[in-house]
Structure 1
């Protein structure tokens, strides 16, 4: 570490990557961004200018050889996560990995094994666990105020049309991975249990360009589940909804219910003379979970400084990937999948 501060390398300088980078540039004590790596030269140059740093690499392997780097943030397409994480662990770099953790459970296990062997921290970036409302809801559940949890429902719906590379389920694992990984983790967290059975249905309603070459692609999905402890779960996910970014959850208990998530960009509702009321629907996960990202990044630095295990581990990432794979199998086969 340089002057007692953790030197971080950002691998993947796109939208999500730059959220982490901005946090570490100015808002996380005892940590700083030392370098970025991205195969897109435009991304690298833009990041260097904004972060006011000098070291940018086209190849992440060069970043890993930089002695100033103590830890990395992996924010690349999912299919590269395993390769990068294993290489980082072998060079003694701690790892904060964005979701989804990897493409398969076996890849997740390789990442876990590499981190354990090389004594580095592997933290999964499920930022909703650091959101103040989600944490408050978890405390209410544990207090017993709503009785025993019966069912957890979670949805994530995004306004954007998927990137073309996402159309190939074999390369992206589909919206269950790209959109609903957070929902899967939300269900695991609030039930305190693992998925037992899964039934999912998907369909392509908004992406006509994908239908001819990628008939298996879906932009809308519904997943129902049972859990090992007898609880129930439901997830719905969608891409290209246009109306805004919509992330909400409900925890139903034997004596009450918790509603989670806000949809307004600003805390104002306007009532007009046409007898209608208007408010602005939030259009970005970057706004909705801004504070949660910061708390997640602070926690990662604290884990490194105090040599403790993260609140969200590689195991959590692996179990989400397991559910994604089972959900895609259920969509394809039309069958209930037992885990």
Structure 2
């Protein structure tokens, strides 16, 4: 397979402004089909995509297209599981924006189906593919920071835009829609399973869901993680992530491509991670590299780093956080079953 032939489902902003421009730049990818119920969005997407992809207003027609080998699902969250299941049943490899599904049971079903069919099922946790977080992962794994006891993240931004994201029945809520990216980073970098967590959350502004949150996580392997988020002030947008060990500490900007490192001997480093020469990477860092990883998995028959289990684990944490808010106490994170 010299080139992986893609069909994209859902032509909202993220598909048009992130996935299509990224795939246009990858030699091993070709967009051959696009699908959207919106004729206007479909037309806009076709203008961005290279070549002349076939256009479908019914995604089921795209799934019947014999030239499509892999699909990218960019539809609202509550539709992901249904479309992913139909795509796998049609014999297509699947790249699905997170979350893969809104229930743990659906994650189990989709994982089994992908395994039975011998298909790649990857979930869009792009941050773990970003070069700065690959570097941080190596630093943690190789002991450069010593014994890491704490991971942290703070998020300052305005409320979600109106639409399906602001409808909890469709998005799964703000923890699933936004914070699952950072919960996944905690899980990946810690190398362990979250055992229990505590969440305090409320609504400060006129929003559909929690807009002031703090989440405290304990891992079976020892580290702890703390996430603090606000979604009520549109005047600021800042997302930072860090790790603290007994030999060093790291602070990384999610949005900017830099990372600061401080060592116990007083040394300081400012590391920068520009995109590869000639590559424009829209969206958050990692969007380009996650597609390279997906293509490699399809061609070489590898399991993706971020698959059904990783999505299920982030969802299990989100569900546990909701239970913690209701109970006011620490709760166990359920085994996702994948």
Relative to the length of structure 2, the TM-score reads: 0.85
3-state SS in 1 of match to 2:152 = strand
- CA deviation profile, 1:2-40 (whole Å, cap 9, x unmatched): xx3211011111122221111112x11221111111122
Match of 2:250?
258
- Aligned mates of 1:155, 1:59 — CA distance in 2: 40
The total of aligned residue pairs comes to 309
Distance 1:192 1:169, change over 3 A: same
Pair 1:219–1:159, CA change in 2 (3 A): same
- Distance 1:115-1:289 versus aligned 2 partners, 3 A rule: same
Q: Matches of 1:287 and 1:31 in 2, distance apart? A: 17
Q: Secondary structure in 2 aligned to 1:179?
A: helix
Check whether the contact 1:221–1:236 (CA below 8 A) recurs between aligned residues.
Answer: yes
Mapped to 1, the partners of 2:227 and 2:294 lie a distance apart of 28
2:298 corresponds to which of 283, 297, 304: 304
In structure 2, C-alpha distance between the alignment counterparts of 1:330 and 1:162, rounded to whole Å: 26
Change (3 A) 1:265 1:132: closer
The secondary structure found in structure 2 opposite 1:190 is helix
Say yes or no: does 1:93 pair with 2:92: yes
Q: 1:67 to 1:238 in 2, by over 3 A?
A: farther
Superposed counterparts of 1:45-194, under 5 Å: 45-51=43-49, 52-194=51-193
- Which of 231, 235, 238 is equivalent to 2:223? 231
Tell me how far 1:167 sits from its aligned partner. Answer: 3.9
Q: Is the 8 A contact 2:9 2:71 kept in 1?
A: yes
Give the structure 2 partner of residue 270 of structure 1.
Answer: none
Instruction: Give 3-state SS (helix, strand or coil) of 1:151's partner.
Output: strand
Whether the 8 Å CA contact 1:86–1:111 is kept in 2: the answer is yes
Q: Per-residue displacement from partner, 1:218-255 (whole Å, max 9, x unpaired)?
A: 12221111111121111123335323432221111122
Deviations, residues 269-324 of structure 1 (Å, cap 9, x unaligned): xxxxxxxxxxxxxxxxx75624x111111111111112212222221111111111
Relative to structure 1, the CA distance from residue 105 to residue 140 in structure 2 (aligned partners, 3 Å threshold; closer, same or farther) is same
2:31/2:53 contact within 8 Å kept: no
The 5-angstrom pairing of residues 287-326 of structure 1 reads: 289-290=284-285, 292-326=286-320
1:141, distance to aligned residue in structure 2 (A): 1.0
Is there any run of 5+ residues in structure 2 with no aligned partner, and where?
A: 259-280, 334-338
Structure 2 counterpart SS, 1:298 = helix
1:248 and 2:240 are equivalent in the alignment: yes
CA distance in structure 1 between the aligned counterparts of 2:233 and 2:126, rounded to whole angstroms: 23
Equivalent position of 1:273 in the other structure = none
Gapped regions of structure 1 (runs ≥ 5): 267-285
- State how far apart, in whole Å, the 1-side matches of 2:129 and 2:144 are: 21
Cross-structure match for 2:211: 219
Question: CA 1:168 to 1:49, structure 2 compared with 1: closer, same or farther past 3 Å?
Answer: closer
**Alpha-carbon deviation of 1:172?**
2.1
For 1:4-43, list aligned pairs within 5 A.
4-18=2-16, 19-25=18-24, 27-43=25-41
How big is the shift at 1:61? 0.9
Secondary structure of 1:180's match? helix
Determine the C-alpha separation between the residues in 2 that align with 1:22 and 1:163. Answer: 25
- Structure 1 CA distance for aligned equivalents of residues 166 and 130 of structure 2: 30
Distance in 1 (alpha carbons) for counterparts of 2:146 and 2:255: 27
